[in-house]
Structure 1
Amino acid sequence: MQKWLQYDTALLYHPSYSPYLSPCDFNLIPKKTEPLHGIRFRTVPEILQAADRSIRTINTTGAAKGILRLPHRWQQVVHNAGDYTEGQ
């Protein structure tokens, strides 16, 4: 996150239910924000450090494996004639 903020770019926020999220965001956003729920931060650097720690933890624990489940989900949508069923 700190690396991203070095560049002169606008940060666009998308709700987790946004239909515009790329497949690589599947299951990642909830995992990224889970450890931050209920915490109040006093400064922006505290927020950035916490977000950075959260992402590093996801990377080292392998918690972001939702992308690997996508082919199975896609197959379910085909099987259900286009209907997406959460949690299958």
Structure 2
Amino acid sequence: MCIGIPGQIVALHDQQPDHAWAQVCGMRREVNIALVGGENRQALIGCWVLIHVGFALSKLDEQEAQETLAALHAMEEVEADVALFLGRGEAR
């Protein structure tokens, strides 16, 4: 299953200009922001992005991000793979 998850950019990486830190389901993860960064990387802080395999693919507004997270959390109860993706489950 291929799935992207919303995360909020909370900080820029000190040593890698195309990387930032995103808050994803309560965990801080390093993501590549080359596809969404543009000229003003600082403006990304606080933005919501759709993350897939460590890459921020696009920007989202907060409402869309929250709705997507709510749908993923609802799926988590019936789909073990989603729980793994959200960092809450264990591999079988």
TM-score scaled by structure 2? 0.30
Higher relative contact order (CA closer than 8 Å, sequence separation 6+): 1
Q: Which has the larger share of strand?
A: 2
Say which one has the larger Rg: 1
Q: Which has the larger share of helix?
A: 1
